[in-house]
Amino acid sequence: MLMEVSTQTNLAQWSLILLCFSMAGAFGGGLYEHIVLTPIWSASPPSSFSIIQRGTGVPLQRFWIPVHTAITIFIVLTLFLTWNDVTVRRLLLIGVASYMIMRVWSALFFIREMLAFQKIPPNSAPSAELSARVARWTYWTWFREPLDIISFLCSLLALYWLERS
């Protein structure tokens, strides 16, 4: 019995640690994208879109798909393994709520627009409509980062409280 509890606690700790690393990756990747990539690709659309074009630009999907897959797996696993710890569960559920808001918002707006931007040839004629879309994307994307911070902090706090249980 003691071995079973110890193994489950150990699995829960490692799952939560890996969730924290995954969340840190998402937060760091988001900052890198905001600070380094977004100013480059949004500088003078569509000629500046070459950095986000498939085959010639930064392969954004190669980073974001594995990061979000890891977060999803570790959130589910950690919730399952720590469900009986009320404090940890509450922190994780707050983090999940923040993460889900960010993911749904991303799916409905940011990912769709980014995929559309990636399809526009860089040698296309610039337009006021395209510049407005890029400006809207770059403005609103900053509001996703606080949601990532909330999710990350909730994961870190859950790890802290799990260690005290």
What percentage of the chain reaches a pLDDT higher than 70? Answer: 97
Query: Amino acid identity, residue 99?
Result: Y
In degrees, rounded to 5, the angle at the alpha carbon of residue 75 between the alpha carbons of residues 71 and 77 is: 120
Number of domains in the chain: 1
pLDDT at site 54: 84
pLDDT tens for each residue of 62-79: 999 999 999 999 999 999
Task: For 113-160, write each residue's pLDDT tens digit.
Answer: 999 999 999 999 999 999 999 999 999 999 999 999 999 999 999 999
| Residue that has been written with the tokens 């570790």 in this structure | 74
Residue 103 belongs to domain spanning: 2-164
Task: Give the Cα separation of 48 and 124 in Å (integer).
Answer: 11
Q: What is the pTM of this model?
A: 0.90
Omega cis (within 30) before 66: no
How does the average pLDDT of the chain come out, rounded? 94
